[in-house]
Structure 1
Amino acid sequence: MLRKINHENMGRSNLGWLRSIFHFSFAEYYNPNNINFGMLRVINDDLVAPGTGFDLHPHQNMEIISYVVGGELTHGDSMGNKSTITRGHVQYMSAGTGVYHSEQNLADQPLRFLQIWIIPDKTGYTPSYGDYRFEWNDRHNQWLHMVSSKAGDAPIKINQDMNVYALELEKDKEISFLVAAGRQAYMVQVEGRSAVNGVELGTRDALEIVEEDIQIKASETTHVVILEMKKIAE
């Protein structure tokens, strides 16, 4: 089963310094029929103006992944971590029993990143943070496996049965992705255009995939992120 979500129908917010597209209910955007997709709770496509950002604020019992599309993202937290990542890099935080963090754009250009929240497999984990600077070419015409469960083999491991992949596919090239029985996936068309099993996707569109293998063909150079997970009862 495939279901396309047009970005024009997603939630939106414009605070001046921050423009956001909400894939799921968040902040002032509330839709009782669009709270989550399995254990995937939040994907916010955030555009942050230079010299601004999210000041120190709390999180608890959530696995948080930030994927930078463009610009620079600077993280700080109450555990003493501070780092800056750029295009194609990932930071991840297990909020667990509670942590404060900030996310700032200290550069002179806009920052675009995907803010992803995943419900953990249980509450009460000890908070932790890390980041990973993936090489851009590692996703060129091939799947880059960035995130997995603690039992998986990706460089980033989180407290949930979730796999996150990135891909940059050249125009007219094709690639497959398997979504097995008992599994589902959420695809974000980050940049470019593609056709997935004949379904046309443009920049910032999304696709829900349930127990169906897909074939992606790039209509132009295309950049996607897929979150693949165990199917759970809604």
Structure 2
Amino acid sequence: MTTYLHRSEDRGHVQAGWLNTRHSFSFGSWYHPDFMGVGPLRVINDDHIAAHNGFGTHPHDNMEILTCVLSGTISHQDSMGNSGDIKAGEWQLMSAGTGVRHSEMNQYDQDVHLLQIWIQPNVRDAEPTYQQIELNPKQQPNQWHLIAGASDQAPMHLRQNAEVKTAVLDAGHQLEIATQHKINYVHVIEGEVEIAGQIVKSGDALMFDENSTVKANTTAQMIWFDLPA
């Protein structure tokens, strides 16, 4: 098995007033030639957004943009006519396709903590779409929850031959990681787990290319990306 441990401290860190963010891969003003993405996974930004601030209206095209709200509430508005709140435990998938403009603003008194994830699509210039679901793995721990994928079973449809799953594991519990594609990339949101003999802590991620098992050393929350090469 080939593995690569991406340590939290190797992520880019940008503090820009209301935004405190860590970039797993090169993004914006932070560039590192060794961290350009994994397969079609291009961005994992770990964002803390101060109260009454956020991302003003801006454009995207040909990118699958997945948002996971971990705490607080972010307010979404886009050029497709969608608007509303995304709360902790909810997920948003915006397929930008031919082009969309949107804003993500924290209109409330509490800071927001979210993950912003970009996946390159395998279909270009498709019609933009918007999807949103509530799925908090803390309410059903010790199992994988499929968030997005190309199959009809996925709660949100992803324009890529990949799957995104999430889980919360209680200490001492374990789950199988059986890849359907070529690359596994497990990002730990909080806690500590062991995968393929590697200790993976909060903010770390492990890339590996064979089936394995994840065991929680503490209560842990993670996202598993099952990706094509």
Quickly name the TM-score band, shorter chain normalised.
Answer: over 0.9
Report the alpha carbon displacement of residue 91 of structure 1 after superposing the two structures with TM: 0.4
The answer as to whether partners of 1:2 and 1:208 remain within 8 angstroms in 2 is yes
Paired residue total = 228
Partner of 1:166: 166
- Quick one: which amino acid aligns to residue 92 of structure 1? L
- Select which of 208, 221, 224 maps to 2:222: 224
Cα deviation per residue 1:40-87 (whole Å; 9 max; x = unaligned)? 111111111111100000001111100111111211101110121222
The answer as to whether partners of 1:170 and 1:218 remain within 8 angstroms in 2 is yes
| Off by >6 Å, runs of 4+ in structure 1 | none
- Select which of 211, 214, 219 maps to 1:213: 211
The answer as to whether partners of 1:90 and 1:133 remain within 8 angstroms in 2 is yes
Q: How far, CA to CA, are the matches of 1:71 and 1:193 in structure 2?
A: 23
Partner of 1:198: 197
Using structure 2 for the length normalisation, give the TM-score: 0.95
DSSP 3-state at the match of 2:9: helix
Q: How far, CA to CA, are the matches of 1:138 and 1:214 in structure 2?
A: 25
- Structure 1: unaligned runs, 5 residues or longer: none
Partner of 1:25: 26
Report the alpha carbon displacement of residue 230 of structure 1 after superposing the two structures with TM: 1.6
The answer as to whether partners of 1:179 and 1:209 remain within 8 angstroms in 2 is no
- Quick one: which amino acid aligns to residue 49 of structure 1? A
Partner of 2:12: 11
Q: How far, CA to CA, are the matches of 1:157 and 1:188 in structure 2?
A: 21
Partner of 1:178: 178
Q: How far, CA to CA, are the matches of 1:107 and 1:185 in structure 2?
A: 36
- Distance 1:194-1:18 versus aligned 2 partners, 3 A rule: same
Partner of 1:2: 3
Cα deviation per residue 1:70-126 (whole Å; 9 max; x = unaligned)? 111211101110121222210011111111001111222111111011111121111
Q: How does 1:38-187 map to 2 (within 5 A)?
A: 38-137=39-138, 139-149=140-150, 151-179=151-179, 183-187=182-186
Q: How far, CA to CA, are the matches of 2:73 and 2:197 in structure 1?
A: 35
* Bigger Cα displacement from structure 2, 96-105 vs 79-88: 79-88
The answer as to whether partners of 1:138 and 1:144 remain within 8 angstroms in 2 is no
Report the alpha carbon displacement of residue 32 of structure 1 after superposing the two structures with TM: 2.2
The answer as to whether partners of 2:137 and 2:167 remain within 8 angstroms in 1 is no
DSSP 3-state at the match of 1:220: coil
Q: How well do the aligned residues superpose, as a CA RMSD in angstroms?
A: 1.3
DSSP 3-state at the match of 1:8: helix
Identity of paired residues, percent?
35
- Quick one: which amino acid aligns to residue 209 of structure 1? F
- Structure 2: unaligned runs, 5 residues or longer: none
Cα deviation per residue 1:185-232 (whole Å; 9 max; x = unaligned)? 21110011111122111111111122x11211111110000111122x
- Quick one: which amino acid aligns to residue 203 of structure 1? S
Using structure 1 for the length normalisation, give the TM-score: 0.93
- Quick one: which amino acid aligns to residue 214 of structure 2? I
Report the alpha carbon displacement of residue 128 of structure 1 after superposing the two structures with TM: 1.0
The answer as to whether partners of 1:54 and 1:102 remain within 8 angstroms in 2 is yes
Report the alpha carbon displacement of residue 142 of structure 1 after superposing the two structures with TM: 0.3
